[in-house]
Amino acid sequence: MHLLTLLQTVALLVAPVLSTPTTIFTVPGTLPNSWFENLAVRPNGKILATRGDAPEIWQIDPATSTGSLLVSVAGAYNLTGIAEVVPRKKHGKRPETYIFASAYIPAPFTVAPGSAKVWKLRFSSTGTPSVSLLTALPSAGFLNGVAAWTNHRVLISDTELESVYLMDVDTASYTTPLTNMTGINGIQTAPGYLYWANHLAASLSRRPVDGNVVPTGAVETLASGQNIDDFAIRVDSAGEGVAYIGAMYDNEVVEVEIDPAPSTGLGATSVVESNLSGSGFGLCTVVVFGRTSADSGLLYATVGQGGASASVVRITP
């Protein structure tokens, strides 16, 4: 092997060149330790960010690197997961609709019993946002991840009760198709599959499920030994693709290669971005893909706490 090629190969192995995260928005003011819990990208490319330390949803425009408070949620304390869903038509229309969850988290890792609520955020045809309570869920523990499902339904993970609920987005009636999901945190779906993060086992898994999210096959573990919160997946119809993980207090984003289903083992992992906060420590809770032709190949991740205010950063994977 040519010496230069060898040196380059060694350099690649020893010090992978990471892209530089670009901070596109930081919550203004002096708010050390504020944090965003979850992100959803609108069809127009703007990012909705739920705050874990306040009952607020912020809207951030990656095209202009600007953002502002979109809605304050009266009757909530701390917001968690958010996902766009498909509601039933009303008067022939289907408004752009999101489901998000809330809890009262008076202190880190402390959830007030009975405080779980599920909310709806809708945009009118003129773009005006409105929030309404879909249902209080006092029997739930800690509602964490939210993901769209078929037929006007949404999946919500309950980290404390180790369950997944399947809820109708218009009536709030629900079933509990998955229990015993220890450590469940972020959830995502692909046709016929549920993907989930287990932050206690530090793993990413998936399982085939039927139309009502009842398991039809074995759990496949895709990554382990990996601190994990919410994540983004892009898989084809065979289940092959990639996941990008918000690695919590590791303050980094990690890529996982996903084999076609059923996967035969753990996928290769690599750090795509470290030191997200630029301070050496911080909390990365979620990664999402851009949604417009300009940014569908880019990732957006949150970073917060670590003595800094909640931010959204752009990453080129």
Ligand X SMILES: *[C@@H]1O[C@H](CO)[C@@H](O)[C@H](O)[C@H]1NC(C)=O
- Out of 24, 25, 26, 55, the only residue in the binding site for ligand X (CB under 6 A) is 55
Q: Pick between residue 20 and residue 44 the one whose CB is nearest to ligand X.
A: 20
Among 38, 50, 78, 115, binds ligand X (CB under 6 A): 78
Residues 83-142 that bind ligand X (CB under 6 A): 105, 108
Give the nearer residue to ligand X in terms of CB position, either 26 or 97: 26
Query: Is the Cβ–Cβ distance between 169 and 97 less than 8 Å?
Result: yes
Between 76 and 190, CB nearer to ligand X: 76
Among 21, 26, 46, 53, binds ligand X (CB under 6 A): 53
**CA–CA distance, 253 with 73 (Å, rounded to integer):** 29
Site for ligand X in 272-311 (CB under 6 A): 275, 278, 280
How many residues of this chain interact with ligand X, rule: CB under 6 A?
Answer: 13
Instruction: Give ∠ CA 35-64-82 in degrees, rounded to 5.
Output: 40
Binding to ligand X in span 150-209, by CB under 6 A: 179-180
Per the CB < 8 A criterion, the answer to whether 221 and 179 are in contact is no
Q: Give the residues across from 287 on adjacent strands.
A: 301
As measured in angstroms, the least distance from the Cβ of 275 to ligand X is: 4
| Closest CB to ligand X among residues 80, 188 | 80
* Residue choice 41, 48, 52, 101 for contact with ligand X (CB under 6 A): 52
Q: Does 54 bind ligand X (CB under 6 A)?
A: yes
97 vs 302, beta carbon nearer ligand X: 302
Q: Give backbone dihedrals phi and psi of 107, rounded to 5 degrees, phi first.
A: -145, 160
Judged by beta carbon, residue 105 or residue 248, the one nearer ligand X is 105
Q: Which residues pair with 309 in a beta bridge?
A: none
Options 31, 77, 221, 259; binder of ligand X; rule CB under 6 A: 77
Specify the stretch interacting with ligand X by CB under 6 A; choose among 8-16, 48-56, 197-205, 212-220. 48-56
Q: How far apart (Å, rounded) are the C-alpha atoms in residues 283 and 275?
A: 10
Residues in the site for ligand X, rule: CB under 6 A? 52-55, 77-78, 105, 108, 179-180, 275, 278, 280
